[in-house]
Amino acid sequence: MYYPEEVIEEVRARNDIVDVISSYVGLKRVGSNFTCCCPFHSEKTPSFSVSRQKQMFYCFGCHEGGNVFSFIMKYEHFTFPEALKYLAERVGYSLPEVEPSEEEKKRANRKQQLRDVNNAAAAYFHYILTKTERGKLGYAYFTEKRGFTDKTIAEFGLGFADIYSDDLYKYLKKRGFSDQVMRDAGLVDFDERQGPHDKFWNRVMVPILDMNSKCIAFGGRVLGDAKPKYLNTRETELFDKSHNLFALYRAKRSKRRGMILCEGYMDVITQHQAGFDNAIASLGTAFTPGQAALIKRYTKEVYLAYDSDAAGTKAALKAIKILRDHDIQQRVVDLSPHKDPDEFLSAEGPDAYEDRLRNAISGRMFEIRRAAGEYRLGDPEEKTAFIHAVARIIAGSPDVAARASYIETVAGEYGLPPEILQQEVSRIGLSGLDTQTSSEEGDSENEGVPYRSPDTGQSRKYRDTELKEDRAETRLLTWMVNRPELFKTLAPHISEEDFTGRTREVAEQLFRQYKETGNVNPAALLNRYEESEDQRVIAGIMSNELPFEADADSAGKALTELVRKVKLKAVDEKLRAGEGSAIELARKKKEIQRIVIHV
């Protein structure tokens, strides 16, 4: 589908890339750019950068990049015309009528065939369940075991896949659907020996609908002892598990506060029947950043109603971190002594469930209470370890008032000295070294963050492990940029020669600026780095603000810890490089441990 260049540019110009991307992920300003963990690959350290000035994005890990069209096409799995139409509608711009190309017609026709075959299968499954003798077994499961009414069965289009393994295939074949379309929709498998056989048979069926209420996939639960117990449609051109949520097409219309995130289809359907029509669930996989971004379009508050067993608790902790990354408030629902929402509602009813929702605790408080169960608070050493663990959790909150509230609440609930907890939170927050990471998805597979020496022009790359090792150095430089008077305070203890890796040249230039002018000029330093990628890295070091206020004592302790870490790392680097004797370096380590900074 061809559109004039001026039309494309008009749509692009009306859609600010920061505004568009921030509707999907939680962007945070770093220097003149915005950054977050990449929505296109798993990572712990944010490497996704958005420039409002250039109207472009780039991930330093997976190297995805482009303009606002590129982002929408990648994220939504849209073609260019689909992305153009989406962005035009977003800003109320009317696109001119144009004739689609033959290739676009073929692609649109293919997607429509996949939708048609899924809708035909859903109608057939529902017909078997509600209109035939063969569906009685499935109907009994839904009505007697699950307690679903006929109205609920109809609203969710529930169905039953017959006991014969080629029943659906024969039906769809009679309807004129090709083998290729059935295969590509994930409904039928083909074997050279056995021929065609249905993906779903002898199962109660739950259709999965997209945001336009069109069937794109199925979830099926076997009746009997066959494995697997639950089976979902594999990913297809229509169905991407990581970017869809069960019943979101209904929940987005709910008048209730926030959304309730569950683990299973049946939990969701039970809640909708009980009046909680804001319930949704992930699709047979762990909760993903893509699903969080989808939720963020409709709400900024999520109630986690996961199973109350160990596996459910672990899943909830991971979901909390993902939601937090997307600036979505998390609250955890206590379902004990019951296992899941379905069991809770069956045993105690909607009013009791409403109370549990009303009393749901914050994600951070849930993390604290889980941590409390891992320590014997009657033992002084374990109580101290608990204080450190809790302080790390509280220090992760960017809000000053929230941290104060958590300190007061936790100190009172667990009998902790509030002033000690406050000091530990400040120490961790000021050092920035021990706060919990925002994800447990595993290490990023980043190839590295590019860095160019302003003097030699040679490019280097640093992997995530190096970035983590540099955290003490970058944090200390951030302090010194924000409070230049620290150069004089720290002069007896540290110099540019104590910095290593990517921070060495930055430190050298900052120390040189201070010696020459008595101040530092981050903007002038940034001018030495021509590449936007390099500027993002340096801008991260030169953060314009420190999120924690501190008294002189807390600041001194935090700086002492940072200076020691920086200098000890430098000594370790020399030891690995074989520079100096082990005895001499060991003596230096002892001297470093005696450093105390007073502010």
DSSP label of 485 = T
Task: Report, as an integer, the average pLDDT of 105-125.
Answer: 92
Q: Select from 354, 306, 311, 355 the least CA-distant residue to 330.
A: 306
Model confidence at 77: pLDDT above 60: yes
| The pLDDT of residue 6 | 83
CB atoms within 10 A of CB 290: 20
Q: How far apart are the first and last CA of the chain?
A: 65
| The pLDDT of residue 541 | 63
Q: Is the peptide bond before 228 cis (omega within 30 degrees of 0)?
A: yes
Task: Report, as an integer, the average pLDDT of 566-593.
Answer: 86
| The pLDDT of residue 243 | 87
CB atoms within 10 A of CB 225: 6
| The pLDDT of residue 550 | 63
Task: Tell me the pLDDT tens digit for each residue of 483-533.
Answer: 889 999 999 999 999 998 778 888 898 999 899 888 887 756 655 664 544
61-65: long-range pairs with CB below 8 Å, 24+:
61/444, 61/445, 61/446, 61/447, 61/449, 62/38, 62/445, 62/446, 63/447, 64/38, 64/40
Two tokens at 162? 């017959």
E-state strands within 282-430? 301-304, 329-332, 361-362
| The pLDDT of residue 62 | 81
Please state, in angstroms and rounded to a whole number, the distance separating the CA atoms of residues 198 and 187: 6
Sheet of 301-304, strands arranged across: 279-281, 259-262, 301-304, 329-332, 361-362
Please state, in angstroms and rounded to a whole number, the distance separating the CA atoms of residues 126 and 132: 10
Residues 6+ apart with CB under 8 A from 450: 60, 459, 460, 461, 531, 533, 534, 537
Task: Report, as an integer, the average pLDDT of 355-383.
Answer: 94
Task: Tell me the pLDDT tens digit for each residue of 390-402.
Answer: 999 998 887 888 8
Model confidence at 440: pLDDT above 50: no
Contact by Cβ (8 Å): 113, 182 = no
Please state, in angstroms and rounded to a whole number, the distance separating the CA atoms of residues 197 and 189: 6
CA distances to 19, 52, 67, 408 from 91, in Å:
11, 18, 17, 45
E-state strands within 192-339? 195-198, 203-209, 215-222, 230-232, 259-262, 279-281, 301-304, 329-332
Highest mean pLDDT among 200-214, 268-282, 550-564: 268-282
Q: Of 266-275, 410-419, 444-453, which range is least confident?
A: 444-453
Model confidence at 452: pLDDT above 80: no
| Local structure of 592: helix, strand or coil | helix
Task: Report, as an integer, the average pLDDT of 147-169.
Answer: 95
Task: Tell me the pLDDT tens digit for each residue of 324-359.
Answer: 988 899 999 999 999 999 999 999 999 999 999 999
pLDDT band at 446 (very low <50, low <70, confident <90, very high): very low
| The pLDDT of residue 555 | 82
For residue 161, the surrounding DSSP H or E stretch is strand 159-161
